[in-house]
Amino acid sequence: MKISDIFFVIKRRFLEKRNIIFMFVSCFLIFSLLISLTIYHYFNNYKKDELTRNSFYRTISVSSSITPHEIEEIVNLDHVIYIKKRNQGTLSLTMKNFANFKDADIDIKPLLDKNELKIIKGRLPQNADEVVCATKFYPYEIDERNGFNHKYFIKDKNLIGTSFTINYENVTKTLKIVGTYDYFKVMDSMNTCYINEELFNTLVPIDPKNDYDIKIDKNENVEEVASILKNMGINYHVPQTSNGDMESLKYIPIFASLLATLISYLVIYYFIKKKIRYHISDYGILKATGYTNKEIYKIELLENTLIFTLCFIITTIIFLLVYYYLINIPYVSYFVFTSTENLRLPLTSFLLTYLIIFILNVICLKFLMKYLINNRSVYDLLEDKL
Amino acid sequence: MNLENITKTYNLKNEQITALNNLTYKFEKGKLYAIMGHSGSGKSTLIKIMGLIEKPTSGKYTINNTDISTLNDKELSLLRMKHIGFIFQEFYLNDHLKAYENVILPMLINPEIPKNDRQKRALSLLELVGLQERINHFPKELSGGEKQRIAMARALANDPEIILADEPTGNLDEENETIIFNYLKELSEKGKCVIVVSHSDNVKKYADEILIIQKGKLETHENI
Ligand SMILES: Nc1ncnc2c1ncn2[C@@H]1O[C@H](COP(=O)(O)OP(=O)(O)O)[C@@H](O)[C@H]1O
Ligand SMILES: [Mg+2]
């Protein structure tokens, strides 16, 4: 039986009410599956990051300021692999080669407070106390309207301190870049902040955050290095590895996926059963005129697959809209997407979702066919006696 | 078609009904058989067994020397498709398909009818039963007699050798009844085996053989 012939059988009943309800429910199921699998995907990736970072190594965090000389001393200790400035988890401005801020990450908030500056939006800085930034970032909202064309100062490592003449709503101003902030660790014009040129050199510096992480080769050697640091008079603490926490958290999305699969199974089973039972006398007619059980199975299979495919397309569109809405809220993206690798769409969760739904469809259908159609006489089907 | 000691019993909650009791008969091509008898005597049961719609409880049923009980679903379906056209008392039309689509339905699985010929063939069959003006109607928009004629056109879709009709004229007026009987007679004269269950005495005028069934047993048969 060709697919076009199957279409002939189902064409007029495809959009009947029960199928539409089935589609709504399927969309919801697919959406929940997609979400739980995607969350699982991120957990897994996050965990992989953590693992590569932390599987062998342990970290000692240094919170007091240390001199370059001390840094050199620490690097030369046994068991120390490297020492590096900690990735700032909070929002900070990177200020390179500028006045007293030498290559430092500075918390935005204290900088603004100390200099009595405020971040403005929707216009160029007019007063001496105003800073404007290119894109929005949490918790500040900065304007990104058309007049602000960032294109012409893209990807310059030495942005800080450079002047720009910007024309915005008929006002021409010369601004200087006071710093760049980023959460993807890329320096470009999208994450620059500007203030008036006159103000630039009068900025009062604040203490840059200078936390360091010392990587130790093995767990057993942490104590040894720590005691040396103690003797040097350096404040430190040994963070607990977060692997344990992540391990147990990981089960939430796995559990959610399994639950979504189980509920999908029950719902799909229920709807397919209802659908077959509703059409059972039609299938009796088909059998009476010579259709085999296999051909009836194919008709149901195609109809259901069509329903699921349609739902999958609709749900994917909704999912993508939600997804891109979410990653454009910097607060969310800052915490969810720790690297650009993670930013890629989790294609596996799409494939897996469709695979799960398709397999559930086949399993339910095979079982229901046996139970509702195959073992019954044509007359039972026609009369719909069960 | 050969029926040998066919028995059919229905198991109800606390009783067993014997609808057919040890029935033996041989049907031949080119004849019109009329099956008559009181209501509840087992006529429908007999014709359903012959149309492979129900299975006998015991006994041997052969079509073209093939024992039905040895066949699987695929082989049974092939037999139904190629050799049997069934006209039900209750019509059993597909409600969401138009009249001509109902007639096309059995052709979809017949590789001998090319795709492009299906529609033409369906229309000519509907014309034959006088329904050319109703081809685009859905069953619920049609009268009982019209539905009966669609069911008839559908039964003929794959040009079967055996045509089984369970009270085909039960819902029709005399004029329509005559049309149907004439047509069934014509089919039998073309070499097909036509078996008609009917209450109507008019069927006697057309029948080559009359079988009277009483309480599941073949009472008499007359050759005319
Ligand atoms: N599906 C069934 N379940 C139980 N009893 C049935 C069923 N079909 C028919 N019967 C019984 O079998 C007997 C013969 O029925 P049927 O063949 O329909 O008679 P007819 O067509 O001659 O009126 C009746 O007593 C009827 O009640
Ligand atoms: Mg009857």
Give the CATH number, domain containing residue B107.
Answer: 3.40.50.300
Please say if the pLDDT value at position A347 is more than 90: no
* Ligand 1 atom 14: residue of nearest CA: B42
Mean pLDDT of chain B: 92
Nearest ligand to the CA of B88 is 2
| Alpha carbon of B183: minimum distance to chain A alpha carbons (Å) | 20
Task: Name which of B8, B50, B96, B162 to mutate to probe chain A: the one with the most chain A Cβ atoms within 10 A of its Cβ.
Answer: B96
Could you give phi then psi for residue A301, rounded to 5 degrees? Answer: -60, -45
Residue B33 CB contacts under 8 Å (≥ 6 apart), including other chains: B27, B193, B194, B195, B196, B207, B208, B209, B210, B211
- CA-nearest residue, atom 7 of ligand 1: B10
The pair of three-digit structure tokens given for residue A190, joined into one six-digit string: 């999208």
Q: Is the Cβ atom of B40 under 6 angstroms away from ligand 1? A: yes
CB of A289 within 8 Å of any CB in chain B?
yes
Question: What is the whole-number distance in angstroms between the Cα of residue B17 and the centre of ligand 1?
Answer: 8
CA distance A21 to chain B (A): 19
Kindly report the nearest CA distance between residue B223 and chain A, in angstroms.
Answer: 30
Q: Of residues A106 and B70, which shows the higher confidence score? A: B70
DSSP string, A199-254: HHTTPPP-PPB--EEEEES-GGGHHHHHHHHHHHT--EE-PPPSHHHHHHHTHHHH
Please give the distance of CA A281 from its chain centroid, rounded to a whole number.
49
Residues 6+ apart with CB under 8 A from B192: B29, B30, B160, B161, B162, B163
Atom of ligand 1 nearest to the CA of B42: 17
> If you take atom 20 of ligand 1, which residue's CA is the nearest one?
B40
| B130 found inside a domain | yes
- Which residue minimizes the CA distance to atom 6 of ligand 1? B10
Ligand 1 atom nearest to CA at B216: 14
Distances (CA, A) of A82 to A49, A52, A59, A65: 18, 16, 10, 17
Tally the domains of chain B.
Answer: 1
Whole-number pLDDT of residue A205: 56
Question: Which of B17, B39, B47 for a ligand 1 pocket mutation test, highest count of atoms within 8 Å of Cβ?
Answer: B17
d(C-alpha A361, C-alpha A263), whole Å: 13
Contacts of A281 in chain B (CB under 8 A): 92
To the nearest whole Å, the CA of A346 is away from the closest chain B CA by: 42
Tell me which chain A residue has its CA closest to the CA of residue B51. Answer: A288
Nearest protein CA to atom 26 of ligand 1, as residue:
B40
Q: Which pairing describes strands B193-197 and B32-37: parallel, antiparallel, or unpaired?
A: parallel
Cβ neighbours for B127, distance < 8 A, ≥ 6 positions apart? none
Residue B7 belongs to some domain of the structure:
no
Considering the domain boundaries, does residue B219 fall inside one? Answer: yes
Q: Is the pLDDT of residue B62 over 80?
A: yes
Please, which residues have CB less than 5 A from ligand 2, an ion? B 44
Closest Cα in chain A to B72:
A292
* Beta-bridge partners for A132: A194
More confident residue, A337 or A278: A278
Nearest CA in chain B to A294: B74
Q: What pTM, to 2 d.p., does this model score?
A: 0.72
Contacts of A289 in chain B (CB under 8 A): 80-81, 86, 105-106, 154, 157-158
Residue B183 lies in a domain: yes
Domain range for B214: 30-56+71-223
In tens, the pLDDT along B130-152 reads 888 999 999 999 988 889 889 99
- What confidence tens digit (pLDDT) does each residue in B19-53 have? 999 999 999 999 999 999 999 999 999 999 999 99
**Which residue does chain B place closest to A14, by CA atoms?**
B96
Q: Quickly list DSSP for A103-134.
A: SEEEEHHHHHHHTT-EE--SS---STTEEEES
Please work out whether the CB of residue B39 comes within 6 Å of at least one atom of ligand 1.
yes
Shortest CA gap A272–chain B (Å): 19
B17 lines ligand 1 (CB under 6 A): yes
Q: How far is the C-alpha of A30 from the C-alpha of A37, rounded, in Å?
A: 10
**Residue from B35, B38, B45 to probe ligand 1 pocket by mutation (most atoms less than 8 Å from CB):** B45
Residue type, A27: C
Is residue A222 very low, low, confident or very high in pLDDT (cuts 50, 70, 90)?
A: confident
Residue A360 has pLDDT above 90, yes or no: yes
Asked if pLDDT for residue A112 goes beyond 80, the answer is: no
Q: Quote the ligand 2 centre to B40 CA distance (angstroms).
A: 7
Closest chain A residue to B85 measured between Cα atoms?
A: A289
- Domain ranges in chain A are 3-49+245-382, 55-242
Give per-residue pLDDT as tens, A191-200: 566 666 666 6
Mean of pLDDT over chain A: 73
Residue B42, ligand 1, Cβ within 6 A: yes
Ligand nearest, relative to CA of residue B37? 1
ipTM: 0.94
Tell me what the mean pLDDT of segment A246-274 comes to. Answer: 85
- Residue B11 alpha carbon, nearest atom of ligand 1: 4
